[in-house]
Chain A
Amino acid sequence: DTAVSQTPKYLVTQMGNDKSIKCEQNLGHDTMYWYKQDSKKFLKIMFSYNNKELIINETVPNRFSPKSPDKAHLNLHINSLELGDSAVYFCASSLRHGSSTDTQYFGPGTRLTVL
């Protein structure tokens, strides 16, 4: 059973295109996250949703728009893709973000390459 799943696994596209990445978790968790891991392997949070409500919105270009239709799903839409958007995007989920020991579980990642 896949706990946190993402689609697609790989995404290769041209500059200027619009693309979406989907994430689903079957753990019954309340909180979901989007992370970006760049070529230097630095993992940085982009957004976090708790029960469909946006709770963390880091300094991310507004070309990135997350959407959470329900607490088991968190999608990421990216408009007007740029070369610098090339990275691995990870979705994660956790039981309840308010607990200091709340643990995050990661999806397999989506490797986005912008040409």
Chain B
Amino acid sequence: QKEVEQNSGPLSVPEGAIASLNCTYSDRGSQSFFWYRQYSGKSPELIMFIYSNGDKEDGRFTAQLNKASQYVSLLIRDSQPSDSATYLCAVRVYAGNNRKLIWGLGTSLAVNP
């Protein structure tokens, strides 16, 4: 059973701080890793993806991947109240001849003004 695990939270940080969200996955053959944000009652929206070991930065967001440890994280710098949402980690795995995303349950983030 291929799994993706996240701490459900809630993770609470003060405005302006760095929020660190973590995700581990079980399938060593996983190819690419996605972070989505989901506001309450809304659909998931893509923040960024990463497929090589190391860091990838996009604005206030940095994704970090360590395939040896089967670990991917998302850092949010200068957190804003508008960042308060559930952050979903998704991992692309092989499904027979195709590929699919396996999703974590998400981490709830609260940024306090």
List residues of A whose CB falls within 8 A of some B CB.
40-45, 48, 55-56, 90, 97-98, 100-109
Asked if A97 and B49 make an inter-chain contact with CB atoms under 8 angstroms apart, the answer reads no
In the complex, the answer to whether B103 meets A43 with C-beta atoms within 8 Å is yes
With both chains docked as a complex, state the minimum distance between the C-beta of A25 and any C-beta of chain B, in angstroms.
13
Tell me how far the C-beta of B53 lies from the nearest C-beta in chain A, rounded to whole angstroms.
14
Give the interface SS of chain B, mostly helix, strand, loop or mixed. Answer: strand
**Distance in Å from the Cβ of A66 to the closest Cβ of chain B?**
15
Q: Which of B43, B46, B88, B105 has the most chain A CB atoms closer than 10 A to its own CB?
A: B43
**Once the chains are docked, how many angstroms separate the CA of A82 from the CA of B64?**
42
List, in ascending order, chain A residues with CB within 8 A of B100's CB: 45, 48, 56
Residue of B nearest to A107 (CB): B43
- Cβ of B103 to closest chain A Cβ, rounded Å: 4
Tell me, yes or no, whether B95 is within 8 Å of chain A by CB: yes
B88 touches A55 (CB 8 A): no
Interface residues of B (CB under 8 A from A): 31-32, 34, 38, 42-46, 49, 51, 86, 88, 92, 95, 98-101, 103, 105-106
On chain A, the residues within 8 Å of B44 by CB distance are 43, 90, 106
**Candidates B32, B43, B49; contact of A108 at CB < 8 Å:** B43
Contact B46 A44 (CB under 8 A): no
Q: Which 9 A-B pairs have the closest CB atoms?
A: A106-B43, A100-B31, A43-B103, A100-B32, A55-B98, A106-B44, A109-B43, A45-B100, A108-B43
Residues from chain A with Cβ under 8 Å of B38 in the complex: 41
| A45 lies within 8 A of B101 (CB) | yes
A44's closest neighbor in chain B, by CB?
Answer: B103
**Do the beta carbons of B99 and A97 come within 8 Å of each other?**
yes
